[in-house]
């Protein structure tokens, strides 16, 4: 059930513009696909200031907040916003991504393999059921999230 660890969940994952600039979109999507997760929404978007501020609302008091929002909204590249679905995808997604600070991110994780500094850590992933619900609703209209099923028959012919 939604919100039960180990149950089918949805999470909001975004390749940030530094990840787009570095050509890591397919690498990041590939890691979630190969793990077995299902891509139920994706779009390329330059977030408005209100969306970026709401997305990072819990960091409003932090000294890097304005710089972070300026960067996200700069339009130097879009953000690739996605919703991924599957068992435990919120916590597992955070493991696939790795720790926020690249010094703490394990090799084999996305940040461990590709990032050097916390301010350019290329990807975002929701950190709880509550933030996933909030972020999916913030970045996507309901009709942009498409419910589909894996099948290994119908596509062959
Ligand atoms: P995210 O939400 O992006 O997955 O990151 P997180 O939960 O692992 O980390 P959080 O503490 O929520 O920070 C959000 C994002 O803010 C930027 N940041 N910059 N310059 C700095 O010291 C600093 N600290 C954090 C990072 O882009 C981080 O992902």
| DSSP 3-state of 8 | strand
Question: pLDDT per residue over 82-91, tens digit each?
Answer: 999 999 999 9
Q: What is the DSSP letter of 107?
A: B
Query: What is this structure's pTM?
Result: 0.94
Query: Tens digits of per-residue pLDDT, 113-154?
Result: 999 999 999 999 999 999 999 999 999 999 999 999 999 877
What's the first-to-final CA gap in the chain, in angstroms?
A: 34
> What distance in Å separates the CA atoms of residue 114 and residue 78, rounded to the nearest whole number?
19
111 is in an annotated binding site: yes
Distance (Å, whole) CA 83 – CA 70: 24
66 carries a ligand binding annotation: no
List b or e across 90-99, with b for residues whose CB sees 16 or more CB atoms inside 10 angstroms. Answer: bbbbbebbbb
For the segment 55-86, what is each residue's pLDDT rounded down to a tens digit? 999 999 999 999 999 999 999 999 999 999 99
Q: Examine the residue annotation and report whether 55 is marked as an active-site residue of this protein.
A: no
Q: Which of 124, 129, 135, 136 is catalytic?
A: 124
Q: Which residues line ligand 1 (CB under 6 A)?
A: 59, 64, 68, 100, 118-119, 121, 124-125, 127
Q: What is the DSSP string of 25-74?
A: HHHHHHHHHHHT-EEEEEEEE---HHHHHHHTGGGTTSTTHHHHHHHHTS
**Distance in angstroms (rounded) separating the CA atoms of residues 95 and 108:** 10
Residues 6+ apart with CB under 8 A from 135: 12, 55, 126
For atom 3 of ligand 1, the residue with the nearest CA is 124
């Amino acid at each position: 059930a939604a919100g039960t660890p180990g149950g089918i969940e949805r999470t909001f994952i975004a390749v940030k513009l530094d990840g787009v600039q570095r050509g890591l979109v397919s690498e990041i999507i590939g890691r979630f696909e190969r793990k077995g997760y299902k891509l139920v929404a994706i779009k390329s978007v330059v977030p408005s200031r209100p969306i970026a501020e709401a997305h990072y609302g819990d960091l409003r008091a932090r000294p890097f907040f304005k710089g972070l929002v300026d960067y996200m909204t700069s339009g130097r590249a879009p953000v690739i916003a996605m919703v991924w679905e599957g068992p435990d995808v919120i916590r597992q997604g955070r493991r696939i991504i790795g720790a926020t600070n690249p010094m703490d991110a394990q090799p084999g994780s996305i940040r461990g393999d590709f990032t050097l500094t916390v301010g350019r850590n290329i990807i975002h992933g929701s950190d709880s059921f509550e933030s996933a619900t909030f972020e999916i609703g913030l970045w996507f209209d309901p009709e942009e999230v498409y419910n589909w099923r894996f099948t290994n028959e119908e596509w062959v012919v």
